[in-house]
């Protein structure tokens, strides 16, 4: 089915392209700063790999329901709240760099990232003409990649002053992303309230329920449990590692 093309659709495309660039900058800032923060807070290199793998495993379970939720709640609303969630994640990394809180915020951050990527891709598909879909996709992806290259450069200059500065910049840019999404994107006429979208997804969405069954059948829960076990064992076999890390961080903050 071909999209009906008028000037407002091209305006939405230009807006979506700019949002993709801005999201790339934010993503680039996080991609450089998060490993440095993790290395600063956690001395166990093997544990770092497990920590960064856990959010991706959570994303495997949440990608399909996020797509279904965005269809009912509305792509513009979902992108708006993804910006808010990214801002909260940036503030969490800057204010609460303790090891356990870092892991929880990292999972929260992964959900926020997917809450932008999935509806943004759907919005691009909705406004792209059939004969120019490749060109439209190339422009958006190119601007996103350009932003992703700019983000680490900016973060590098800010990290020289303080590890928290890039997160506060990501905080501001994420709020800007949320605000501009309401400026550039049009609301869907069929959008439902938040509670109704969640209720429908949980109780009636067959694709979501099928994805849960497939997730269980493929054994990803066992894989997740294995990673969680390794995560707990990597600290020396007990919670002593966590208490030691937190106490070390507290002592350094006091000194």
In a domain, 3, yes or no: no
In a domain, 172, yes or no: yes
Q: How far apart are the first and last CA of the chain?
A: 64
In a domain, 2, yes or no: no
Confidence (pTM): 0.73
> For residue 75, what pLDDT is reported?
82
In a domain, 38, yes or no: yes
In a domain, 218, yes or no: yes
In a domain, 208, yes or no: yes
> For residue 252, what pLDDT is reported?
53
In a domain, 118, yes or no: yes
> For residue 246, what pLDDT is reported?
46
Q: Quick check: helix, strand or coil at residue 255? A: coil
What total number of domains does the chain contain?
1
- CATH number for the domain including 43? 1.20.1250.20
Could you read off the pLDDT tens digit of each residue along the chain, which spans 255 residues? 344 444 567 778 888 889 999 999 999 999 889 888 877 666 555 566 666 776 666 666 777 677 777 777 778 888 898 999 999 999 999 998 777 788 788 888 988 998 898 888 888 888 777 777 777 888 888 899 999 999 999 999 999 898 899 999 999 999 999 999 888 887 776 666 656 666 666 666 666 666 666 656 655 555 566 556 555 655 544 444 444 554 455 455 445
In a domain, 136, yes or no: yes
Tokens of 249: 């961080």
Pick from 176, 191, 158, 194: nearest CA to 86: 176
| Residue 21, domain extent | 9-254
Distance between CA atoms of residues 108 and 106, nearest Å: 5
Cα–chain center distance at 103: 14
């Amino acid at each position: 089915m071909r999209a009906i093309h008028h000037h407002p659709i091209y305006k939405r495309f230009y807006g979506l392209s700019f949002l993709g660039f801005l999201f790339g900058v934010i993503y680039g800032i996080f991609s450089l700063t998060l490993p440095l923060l993790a290395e600063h807070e956690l001395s166990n290199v093997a544990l770092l790999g497990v920590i960064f793998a856990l959010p991706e495993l959570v994303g495997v379970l949440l990608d399909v329901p996020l797509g279904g939720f965005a269809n009912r709640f509305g792509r513009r609303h979902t992108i708006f709240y993804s910006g808010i969630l990214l801002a909260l994640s940036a503030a969490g990394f800057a204010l609460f760099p303790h090891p356990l809180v870092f892991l929880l915020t990292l999972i929260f951050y992964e959900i926020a990232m997917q809450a932008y990527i999935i509806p943004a891709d759907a919005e691009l598909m909705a406004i792209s003409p059939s004969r120019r879909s490749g060109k439209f996709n190339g422009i958006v992806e190119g601007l996103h990649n350009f932003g992703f290259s700019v983000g680490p450069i900016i973060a590098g200059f800010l990290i020289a002053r303080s590890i928290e500065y890039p997160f506060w910049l990501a905080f501001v840019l994420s709020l800007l992303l949320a605000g501009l999404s309401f400026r550039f994107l049009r609301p869907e006429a069929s959008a439902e309230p938040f509670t109704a979208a969640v209720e429908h997804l949980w109780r009636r969405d067959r694709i979501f329920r099928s994805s849960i069954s497939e997730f269980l059948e493929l054994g990803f829960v066992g894989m997740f449990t294995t990673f969680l076990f390794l995560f707990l064992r990597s600290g020396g076999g007990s919670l002593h590692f966590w208490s030691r890390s937190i106490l070390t961080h507290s002592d350094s903050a006091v000194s």
